[in-house]
Structures are given as structure tokens and as C-alpha cells.
Structure 1
Amino acid sequence: MKLSAPIHHLKRRAKAMARKERIALHEALDRVARIEGFSRWSLLAAQISKGTSASELLAKLRPGDMLLLGARPGHGKTLMGMELIAEAMKSGRQGVFLSLECVESDVLDYLNAIGGDAARFNERFTFDNSDAISSDYIVEQLSASPRGTVAVIDYLQLLDQRRENPVLAEQVRALKSFAEDKGLIFVFISQIDRSYLLSARPCPDMRDVRLPNPVDLKLFDLACFLQDGRAHIASNGV
């Protein structure tokens, strides 16, 4: 089924509707989906996706792995991060969303929008939006997390925004070591440089990751880039 506009435009429409009518984002997303001919947003998102689903992507990740999840604004990186957490929780694992960007209501709206049912997963899901989020903070908070826990970090480029935090490269190396030691899976939501918009490529790739401070991207075991419902996957930082 052909949509009336690209999916990121539909998401912006839903966000504007949520603000204007003072309704939850997941309700606005479902309203937009019904206009497009789908009963709810999760069905629309599943129908238009030409790339890898969250369940397929999660199956590629092993305890100790780190995933870079990149997209331009409005192309579904936060939604995909929440879908990965929901898939992990469905299989009995723990899910953690650490954000320097979102508030709790945003995250719960995303979880509800994909059918995650926050109440059902209450004991398995943790949301943390402390201003202190950094590699040291994450290690401290997740030190007792069971093997296989999926932790989404929102987002990579904000980890060293506070001067007292280590440089970004050091934090990523520390988190990679911690993930391998504890058997956790880290998903880093990442910004994509606006220069990508000048390219003719259907999806961003490692060349497009916005890095105001240098990072060894080969520390990531897998990368997934999203654009207009497409997903491009790269392994071993290439």
C-alpha cells in the first residue's frame, strides 16, 4: 500500500497532532495510521519496512556486542531502539533505555505505539534519563544486570557533552569492555551528518556518522542505518 507521504513526514504529522490536541504520541500515531489505511501504527511500520525487522536484527546480536543505530531525525531510530528492547523483553530478558534526550512519557509512548505494553513489562523495563549518564554511570547502574540485557543509549554524541566526562572515544572503549565482561548488548542511537542529504545513496553508512569528537567505529560489532523505511546493515565497523 502506497503511503500519502514518507514515513518520517507521517511521524512529524503525528507529533504535531499530539502537541496540538494534547494527546499521547502513540494515540496520534495510530490516528495517522488509520488515515493511511492501517488499524494501528505498528502495522503501518511493519508493512512499509523494506529492511530488517527488530527481531531479525536482535537475532544477529550476541552478548557482549555493540550496535550503532543511525538515522536522520524522524526516520525511526528511537522507535527501532524501543522495538529491540521490546523484542528482548518478550523473550524474558531485561531492557534498559538510557536517554540524555527523551523524557519518560516519550519512551512509554513509543513502547505503547509498538504494542510493547509498558505495564506487562514493568519488572523488565528500566528508563533512566539522568543528566549524569556517561560510561562510568552506565557501568555503575548496570553492574548487576543479567547476561543478555539490552541497553539502548540515546544518544552516542551526547555522552561527553559534560566537561567532567571522559572523551567519547574512551567512553565507547570502556563500554565495549564492560559489555563483553558482563555479556550485555549495547545499542547506541547515533546522529547522521546532514551532509548525507546531498548524497544519492538510499541509506546512510559509516561515512555519515556525525562525529564532532573522534571514535573508533570498529568497536561496534554491527551497525544499522535507517532511511524512509529501509535498513542498511554493516558488520565490524565497515
Structure 2
Amino acid sequence: MKLSAPVYRLKRNARVLSRREKIPLHQALDAIAAIEGFPSWSLLAAKHEATTPAEKLFTRLAPGDLVLVGARPGHGKTLMSLALAVQAMKAGHRAMFFTLEYTEKDVLDRFSTIGFDPADFNRLFEIDRSDTISAEHMIARLADAPSGTLAVVDYLQILDQKRETPELMVQVRMLQGFARAKGLIFVFISQIDRSYDPAMKSCPDLTDIRLPNALDLTLFSKTCFLNNGEVRFQAAA
């Protein structure tokens, strides 16, 4: 049976219904399931909730990993990175989103898009929008973070924009050493060079990363590239 909307959107509809009708969320979920022709939400979920790409990728991550998530604008790299943060929080870990691009509302809206509410995670999620975001700043903010914490950096190239900060290679090496020492995971959202042509290859790769200055891309232990719904994972050799 085909659903009228994706599962994440049905979940969001259930939350709206729960608030509007002042009923428990599980009742609202069952009501939405009934509209879709299922006797309960659990049966709907069992039939339609396949493992997501973020769930698959998260199972391949380990403390100390530096993950590169790359795509052209509008192809889901921010949503994928936030979905990885959700998976970390589901596992009981903390997550932090460092950004100079998004407002707090922007980030929370994107959580809604993937069908999750940060309020569900009991203060496990933080957003840092400091004007001084750099490797040094992130290391200071995460100094007391427990092993397994996942930090999203929005985005890789923004670390290279201020003259007073070390060059990008130095900053990424700093974060690599810090991640390994503390058992953290860093997810770097990355821009793709405008020369990338989807007609030539269906998904970008490391050769398409936009790099204004030199960076050893072997510093990243995992990569994830997206384009038009295609998702490609790769672990370092």
C-alpha cells in the first residue's frame, strides 16, 4: 500500500495532531496510520520504514573518524549531516552543530524536515553560531565532550576564510588529532566545485571538493557524496 506522504512527514503530521487535539503522541500516530489504511502505527512503520542512508552510514562510523559529506546545493548534505547527529543522539551520545551559515531556526526546521524534534533528545544537541568558529574554538567547546560525541562542521571551506586562523590543512590536522584523542566524530559538510558535471558522473567524489587552498583529503577517514537522491559511502583504504 502506497503512503500519501513519506514516513517522516506523517510523523510530523502526527505531532501537529497531538498538539492540536491534546492527545498522546502514540494515539496521534495510530490515527495517522488509520488514515493510511493501517490498524496501528507500528504496523505502518514495520512495512514502510526501511533503514535510512544515515542509519547505514552511522553504523560504519567509529570514535576518531573525520567524515566528509559533499554535494552541490540542494542535494541533501546538510540533512544527511543532521541525520547522522540524530543517529548519534539515538545511541545516547551528544551532538553539536557548528555553523556560520544557518540560524537556530534554520537548523531546527531542517530537523523537522527529516522527521525529528531536538526536544526529544533531552539536551543532547547544541548549536554553536559563534563568529570565531575555527579548529581552536571547536576544540575548546568540546574539551569536556564524552567519547562518541558527534560534531557537524558547517562547512569545511568556512574554516579557511579568516586570515587570523591557521591554514585549512593545519586546522583539519588539529581536529583529527583531537578526535582521535577524545574519541569524537567530526562530520564536515563540504562544497563541491562548480566544474562538477553530473552528466559525466552521477555522483561527485574527492576530486570535486572545492579547495581554495591545499588540503590533504586523506585526513578524512570516511566520505559520503550525494546527488539527485544517490548516496555513496566510502571508507579510507
Which whole-Å CA distance do the structure 2 matches of 1:65 and 1:199 have between them? 32
Q: Kindly, what percent of the aligned residue pairs are identical?
A: 51
Which whole-Å CA distance do the structure 2 matches of 1:173 and 1:64 have between them? 12
Deviation at 1:234, TM superposition (A): 2.3
Please state whether the residue corresponding to 1:187 is helix, strand or coil.
strand
8 Å Cα contact 1:204/1:225 also seen in 2 = yes
Which whole-Å CA distance do the structure 2 matches of 1:122 and 1:94 have between them? 10
Please state whether the residue corresponding to 1:197 is helix, strand or coil.
coil
Residue type of the partner of 2:5?
F
The 1:199/1:166 distance shift into structure 2, 3 A limit, reads: farther
Deviation at 1:90, TM superposition (A): 0.9
Please state whether the residue corresponding to 1:180 is helix, strand or coil.
helix
Name structure 1 gaps, 5 residues minimum. 1-33, 44-50
Report matched runs for 1:189-204 at 5 Å: 189-197=189-197, 199-204=199-204
8 Å Cα contact 1:65/1:184 also seen in 2 = yes
TM-score calculated relative to the size of structure 1: 0.78
In structure 1, the partner of 2:5 is 38
In structure 1, the partner of 2:74 is 74
Deviation at 1:235, TM superposition (A): 2.2
The number of equivalent residue pairs is: 203
1:234 aligns with 2:234: yes
Q: State the Cα RMSD in Å.
A: 2.8
Name structure 2 gaps, 5 residues minimum. 11-50
TM-score calculated relative to the size of structure 2: 0.79
8 Å Cα contact 2:71/2:190 also seen in 1 = yes
1:89 aligns with 2:86: no
Which whole-Å CA distance do the structure 2 matches of 1:151 and 1:208 have between them? 23
Deviations 1:141-182 (A, max 9, x none): 001001000100000000121111110010000000000000
Which whole-Å CA distance do the structure 2 matches of 1:203 and 1:98 have between them? 26
8 Å Cα contact 2:99/2:128 also seen in 1 = yes
Which whole-Å CA distance do the structure 1 matches of 2:71 and 2:113 have between them? 19
In structure 1, the partner of 2:39 is none
1:179 aligns with 2:146: no
More deviation, 199-208/177-186: 199-208
Which aligned segments of 4 or more residues in structure 1 are displaced greater than 4 angstroms? 39-43
Q: Which structure: larger Rg? A: 2
8 Å Cα contact 1:52/1:231 also seen in 2 = no
Deviation at 1:115, TM superposition (A): 2.2
